[in-house]
Amino acid sequence: MFHLFHGKFKKNWDELYLENDVFGILVQYEGKQKKWTRYLHPMIDTNHNTIKYYAFDTHQQKITFLSMLKIQWVWGKTAYAIAAQDQIKLKEAIDNFDVKYFMTLPGIWSKTAKRLLVELKTTLDTADVKKLSIDDSLLKSILKSLHDLGYERSAVKKLLITCPIQLKKDNLPEIMKRLVDNL
């Protein structure tokens, strides 16, 4: 399998090939740079019984791609869309808990963007949780109640983000039961 390739792109119908004087490789590439050397990552496509190569301009993009794949529910296409972004803007979006930035990527909706940010951000503070559209008084009430019972605030915040129940005061008993069952 190839991990670094020196060649040029050739488009054939709707497929993109990275080729040199000897052979070509079918790749997935979204960049616009004209550099000759590409970092590749092979993935086995079981649906088509083939190997699919993702091409990157920089080694950092490939590292980002591999770290995205470690998240259980992130697949190749989504990981590639994230890795193909400007790495500085991506880091700023993660640091600022910018849900809207991730929603601009293909296949990522509001809930997925929030889950992704929770996975990528090392620490969550109250301002981040507020960006998840949770009523502030409800958040404080839940955090205080569960903290008084001995649960860690950070664990509660992470579970709140992935909670499928709509986070409203009317649903407070259901939310509390779900949190306690999963902590």
- Mean pLDDT, rounded, of the chain: 78
pLDDT of residue 133: 61
Higher pLDDT, 122 or 80: 80
Rounded mean pLDDT of 9-21? 79
The percentage of residues in the chain with a pLDDT greater than 70, rounded to a whole number, is 88
Radius of gyration (C-alpha) of the chain in whole angstroms: 21
Give the span between the Cα atoms of 71 and 24, in whole angstroms.
31
pTM over 0.85: no
Lowest mean pLDDT, pick from 25-29, 89-93, 113-117: 25-29
Distance in angstroms (rounded) separating the CA atoms of residues 45 and 50: 5
For residue 124, pLDDT over 60 is answered with no
- DSSP tag of 73: T
Distance (Å, rounded) from C-alpha 112 to C-alpha 39?
27
Residue-wise pLDDT for 131-182, tens only, equals 666 666 777 777 777 777 777 777 777 777 777 777 777 777 777 777 777 7
87 with 79: CB under 8 angstroms? no
Query: Rounded CA gap, 99 and 35, in Å?
Result: 32
Residue 112 pLDDT > 60, yes or no? yes
Identify whether the C-beta of residue 115 lies closer than 8 Å to the C-beta of residue 161. yes
Average pLDDT for 27-43? 75
- Tell me the two tokens of residue 60: 């950092």
pLDDT at 35: 61
Token pair listed for 49: 């019984």
- Going by pLDDT thresholds of 50, 70 and 90, the confidence category of residue 130 is low
pLDDT digits (tens, 9 = 90+) for 62-76: 888 888 888 877 888
Q: In angstroms, how far apart are the furthest CA atoms of the chain?
A: 68
